[in-house]
Amino acid sequence: MDRLDNTVRPYAWGSTTAIPQLLGVEPTGEPQAEMWMGAHPGAPSRTDRGTLVDVIAAAPEKELGAVAVAKFGPRLPFLLKILAAGAPLSLQVHPDLEQAKEGYEEEERRGVPVDAPHRNYKDANHKPELICALTEFDGLCGFRDPRQTADLLDGLGVDSLKPYVDLLRAHPEDAALREVLTAVLTADPEEMARTVAEATAACSRLGGAYAPYADVAHHYPGDPGVIAAMLLNHVRLQPGEALYLGAGIPHAYLDGLGVEIMANSDNVLRCGLTPKHIDVPELLRIVRFEPSDPGVLRPEASPDGEEVYETPIDEFRLSRYVLPEGGTPHDLTRATPQILLCTAGSVRTGEHELRPGQSVFVSAGEKAEVSGPGTLFRATVVA
């Protein structure tokens, strides 16, 4: 069992206080957005045996188990994070596995450098993800019913939004959503900036259901993504609640601290709220233009105390244990690789005492007993 030393990524949207507070350390004054736990080559966790990438590469079947290697290849198929949003992230979607393979092969064929700012596909993998709130957590997820969005936009009283209102009241719904998003992202930049400014003023004045979008606009003045964001459901998670984000679902995290797990991929297509490249034709190919409920997940409890967040994919499986003081130790030994993360209290696992924000990697088949008092997240695969 390897204690992990993890990298914190200082993205501009990160909170300056949430991760330091979790870790019990003084803030640096700089944003601390994500702490990565896993074997992603961009920031692999470090162990006494080397980076987790090196540890797994030296003996894939020993570390991951034969079944996981046969199913996913000789690499850890998930990346676990603590995510701390102090400002909205970019509005984005992720491709499905077939789209990722096609897009990656096409850009490779055209010789687009993998680190080019206009490159869409950094790898050939999909990127489903799950975010579980540790604090109250705000986000945008999936298209709202177009008629409800039409009413929301109409209530702003902005004349330049009237064509979008009319489109959203038309049928079929998927065509209406596609037309509006296309129009927003391809509009004249100066005209759209004026529309966004008027909409922002109205959102700030009206508050209520408009308040989240006023905050988005505060961080991204004049950005077309502000109007695109208003097409989406706003959701507020309570601690312990989660969102699963599959392929093609537009989303953005706005504020809060959470545990995030995803397939080990970097593939992101952006829709707005960013200075980065937006490939509108490719984006429109990937987005699923269908209204949907955000689908807040609550964990399913098993008799042994494991609370599982059920998802439809196999690359990751996230669960939680709330361990009482003096309780019987739980045997978490499993034939697949695991990362165990403490988020509250104190958790004993093997020879390691984990405090909030600390984690260990457990090789496939390695003995893993845990006891509290504390909260422990368990990341593994379905194999």
DSSP per-residue string spanning 299-337: PEE-TTS-EEE--S-SS-EEEEEEEPTTPPPEE---SS-
Q: What are phi and psi of 272, to 5 degrees?
A: 155, -175
Nearest Cα to Cα of residue 289 among 216, 210, 182: 182
Nearest Cα to Cα of residue 354 among 55, 40, 2: 2
Which residue, chain included where needed, has tokens 């988020």?
343
- By three-state DSSP, how is residue 233 classified? strand
Nearest Cα to Cα of residue 217 among 164, 184, 254: 254
Verify whether residue 270 is a known catalytic residue: yes
CA gap 73, 95 in Å, rounded:
20
Nearest Cα to Cα of residue 357 among 67, 134, 139: 134
Q: What element of type H or E holds 79?
A: strand 78-85
Query: 3, 46, 144, 270: which is the annotated catalytic residue?
Result: 270
- The residues annotated with a catalytic role in the active site are 270
